[in-house]
């Protein structure tokens, strides 16, 4: 019989974040993967999103990084000051360390840090306000870096010795700033669009990183302050609309412009302010929904309540929500709406549903938006009528149906019109 003492049985806890609260989260472009961070547990968890046969969404944890994993990957003992920036469908995510201005691309499946071996990025330093980094829809990785290199980089994943690595395939020179107080801010969209927001002059340039072409320039109202740190830019999923929120000088509100990316012209604008509340702040600023049901959604919050506005697609006006119950059940709880997805966080659990299946949202789209003033419009019928008209013009049906060489006689009665001019003393002086 052995005389050794009792052995300690260690049971591994597979509960996400060991039951601790989720602090931050980020989603992949196609909503196939979610990465969460728990500050209390100092751990990362990767979740997969799947569709079943009934179109119901399910989510489950499949990968994780514990505290020791993160400290080793980031080469630090301090995990307090970082944020989750982006995630990809291939189960990689980007971390930004705010205090060090350092970024890291992490592959959660093999617990490795991706090294970007290119001049200007070897120290992995990015300015949190001026620079940007993002995964693209085509699977590439894009980085825009201002000082001191002023370059944009495009990376592709290539396989070397059985392992995938990010390899730089394009490097694009950006405009250099020479004046001391001039600067600009970069924002990369998932389709490869780079927005460069200049402080002086107050101009936003839209570049295509794939084709390297300048696509559009937006010139906001010159009276608007070019506050690059607090202004917001969002593009819709079809890449046809660009929404920008400008801060008002006294801090009591925002001015919102919605631009067409095809013409560069603003199609809607509105100033939201509340002189009584200096804490009047932007709460939600995003495009929600999918396809033809996508809408620009904006909400503000002060000490008393939240105020929501939705861009009316019929009039292109930012109308206050006509139904106070629109998304009321979502906005008053710990939910986040991304495109057609509603994500709820309950401590350390995630759940996901479709916005298109939300009854309040469906009622709003089906009824409220169909009224413009006192006139009823059926947008589908109007679109079909316009399309039919264009098709008939293309096929020359109008010319063949309405034109004929045969003269026609119409019965009528002849009338003679007599026109007289009367002049007074005042009209004589004028002539």
Residue 431 confidence class, pLDDT cut points 50, 70, 90: very low
Residue 142 confidence class, pLDDT cut points 50, 70, 90: very high
Q: What is the pLDDT of residues 4-59, one digit of tens each?
A: 555 555 445 678 999 999 999 999 988 899 999 999 999 999 999 988 766 678 89
Q: What is the pLDDT of residues 285-296, one digit of tens each?
A: 899 998 788 889
pLDDT at 154: 96
Mean pLDDT for 336-350 is 85
Residue 216 confidence class, pLDDT cut points 50, 70, 90: very high
Task: Report the C-alpha gap between 52 and 54 in whole angstroms.
Answer: 5
Query: Domain extents for the chain?
Result: 22-108, 115-219, 223-373
Q: What is the pLDDT of residues 195-207, one digit of tens each?
A: 999 887 788 999 9
Residue 412 confidence class, pLDDT cut points 50, 70, 90: low
pLDDT at 117: 85
Q: What is the pLDDT of residues 165-212, one digit of tens each?
A: 899 999 999 988 877 667 789 999 999 999 999 887 788 999 999 999
Residue 407 confidence class, pLDDT cut points 50, 70, 90: low
On average, the pLDDT of the chain sits at: 80
Say which residue, 230 or 1, is predicted with more confidence.
Answer: 230
Burial class (CB in 10 A: 0-12, 13-18, 19+), 367: exposed
pLDDT at 416: 66
Among 129-133, 213-217, 304-308, name the one with the lowest average pLDDT: 304-308
């Amino acid at each position: 019989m052995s005389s050794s003492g009792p052995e300690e049985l260690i049971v591994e806890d597979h509960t996400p974040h060991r039951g601790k609260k989720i602090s931050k989260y980020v989603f992949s472009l196609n909503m196939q993967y979610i990465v969460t961070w728990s500050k209390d547990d100092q751990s990362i968890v990767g979740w997969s999103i799947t569709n079943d046969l009934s179109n119901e969404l399910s989510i489950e944890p499949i990968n994780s990084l514990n505290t020791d994993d993160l400290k080793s990957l980031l080469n630090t003992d301090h995990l307090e000051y970082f944020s989750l920036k982006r995630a990809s469908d291939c189960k990689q995510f980007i971390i930004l360390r705010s205090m060090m201005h350092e970024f890291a691309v992490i592959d959660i499946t093999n617990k490795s840090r991706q090294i970007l071996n290119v001049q200007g990025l070897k120290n992995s330093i990015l300015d949190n306000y001026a620079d940007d980094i993002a995964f693209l829809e085509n699977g590439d990785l894009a980085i825009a870096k201002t000082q001191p290199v002023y370059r944009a980089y495009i990376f592709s994943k290539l396989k070397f010795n059985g392992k995938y690595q990010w390899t730089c395939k394009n490097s694009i020179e950006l405009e250099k700033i020479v004046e001391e107080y001039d600067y600009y801010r970069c924002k990369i969209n998932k389709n490869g669009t780079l927005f460069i927001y200049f402080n002086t002059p107050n101009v936003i340039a839209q570049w295509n990183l794939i084709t390297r072409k300048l696509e559009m320039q937006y010139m906001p109202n010159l009276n608007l302050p070019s506050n690059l740190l607090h202004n917001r830019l969002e593009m819709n999923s079809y890449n046809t609309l660009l929404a920008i929120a400008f801060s008002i000088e006294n801090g009591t509100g925002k001015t919102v412009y919605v631009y067409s990316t095809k013409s560069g012209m603003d199609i809607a604008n509105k100033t939201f302010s509340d002189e009584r509340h200096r804490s009047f702040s932007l709460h939600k600023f995003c495009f929600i929904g999918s396809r033809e049901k996508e809408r620009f959604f904006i909400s503000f919050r002060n000490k008393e309540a939240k105020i929501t506005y939705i861009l009316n697609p019929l009039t292109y006006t930012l109308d206050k929500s006509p139904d106070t119950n629109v998304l009321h059940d979502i906005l008053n709880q710990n939910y986040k709406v991304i495109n057609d997805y509603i994500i709820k966080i309950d401590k350390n659990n995630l759940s996901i549903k479709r916005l298109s299946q939300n009854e309040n949202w469906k009622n709003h789209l089906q009824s409220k938006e169909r009224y413009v003033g006192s006139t009823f419009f059926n947008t589908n019928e109007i679109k079909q009528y316009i399309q039919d008209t264009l098709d008939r013009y293309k096929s020359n049906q109008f010319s063949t149906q309405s034109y004929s060489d045969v003269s026609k006689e119409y019965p009528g009665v002849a009338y003679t019109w007599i026109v007289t001019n009367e002049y007074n003393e005042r009209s004589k002086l004028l002539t």
